[in-house]
Amino acid sequence: MATRLVYAGALAVAVLAATALAACSDSDGLKVALAYDVGGRGDKSFNDAAAAGLDRVRAELRGRVSQVRELDARDDESENDKYDRLKLLCGAGFDVVVAVGYEYAGTDPETGPLARAAKECGKTRFAIVDDARVRAPNVAGLVFADEQGSFLVGAAAGLKSRTGRVGFVGGCDNAVIGRFEAGYRAGVRAVRPDATIAATYLSPDKLPCPGFSDPGHAREVAEDLYGDGADVVFHAAGGSGLGVFEAAGESPLSRMAIGVDSDQYQTVSPPLRDTILTSMVKHVDTAVFDVVKSVVDNRFSAGEHRFDLASGGVGYATSGGRVDDISAQLEGYKEKIISGSVVVPTAIG
Q: Do 174 and 278 fall within a single domain? A: yes
What is the domain range of residue 10?
Answer: 3-144+285-307
In a domain, 25, yes or no: yes
In a domain, 219, yes or no: yes
Q: Do 261 and 138 fall within a single domain? A: no
Lowest average pLDDT, out of 17-31, 200-214, 322-336, goes to 17-31
Q: Do 87 and 164 fall within a single domain? A: no
Q: How far is CA 301 from CA 22, 242, 268, in A?
A: 26, 36, 36
Check residue 19 and give its pLDDT: 35
In this prediction the pTM is 0.87
Check residue 209 and give its pLDDT: 86
Q: Do 335 and 195 fall within a single domain? A: yes
Lowest average pLDDT, out of 5-19, 101-115, 228-242, goes to 5-19
In a domain, 345, yes or no: no
**Residue 335, pLDDT above cutoff 60:** yes
Q: Give the tens place of pLDDT for each residue, 161-188.
A: 999 999 999 999 999 999 999 999 999 9
Q: Do 129 and 30 fall within a single domain? A: yes
**Residue 8, pLDDT above cutoff 60:** no
Strand segments (E) across the chain: 3-5, 30-35, 65-71, 96-100, 125-129, 139-144, 165-170, 196-201, 232-236, 256-261, 276-282, 303-307, 314-316
Q: Do 68 and 153 fall within a single domain? A: no
CATH number at residue 55: 3.40.50.2300
Q: What is the domain count for the chain? A: 2
Q: Give the tens place of pLDDT for each residue, 268-319.
A: 999 999 999 999 999 999 999 999 999 999 999 999 999 999 999 999 999 9
Q: Do 187 and 294 fall within a single domain? A: no
In a domain, 173, yes or no: yes
In a domain, 54, yes or no: yes
Check residue 33 and give its pLDDT: 98
Single-letter amino acid code for the residue at 193? P
Q: Do 139 and 151 fall within a single domain? A: no
In a domain, 271, yes or no: yes
Over pLDDT 70: what percentage of the chain?
A: 92
Q: Do 106 and 240 fall within a single domain? A: no
**Residue 261, pLDDT above cutoff 90:** yes
**Residue 114, pLDDT above cutoff 60:** yes
**Residue 23, pLDDT above cutoff 70:** no
Instruction: Give the contacts of 108 (CB within 8 A, at least 6 positions apart).
Output: none
**Residue 349, pLDDT above cutoff 90:** no
Q: Do 272 and 289 fall within a single domain? A: no
In a domain, 23, yes or no: yes
**Residue 11, pLDDT above cutoff 50:** no
In a domain, 346, yes or no: no
Q: Do 297 and 198 fall within a single domain? A: no
- Return d(Cα 166, Cα 348) in angstroms, integer: 17
Q: Give the tens place of pLDDT for each residue, 75-108.
A: 889 999 999 999 999 999 999 999 999 999 999 9
Strand segments (E) across 83-138: 96-100, 125-129
The β-bridge partners of 4 are 70
Check residue 7 and give its pLDDT: 41
Of 21-25, 37-41, 148-152, 203-207, the range with the highest mean pLDDT is 148-152
Q: Do 131 and 7 fall within a single domain? A: yes
Q: How buried is residue 252: exposed, middle or buried, by Cβ count under 10 Å (0-12/13-18/19+)?
A: exposed
Mean residue pLDDT across the chain:
91
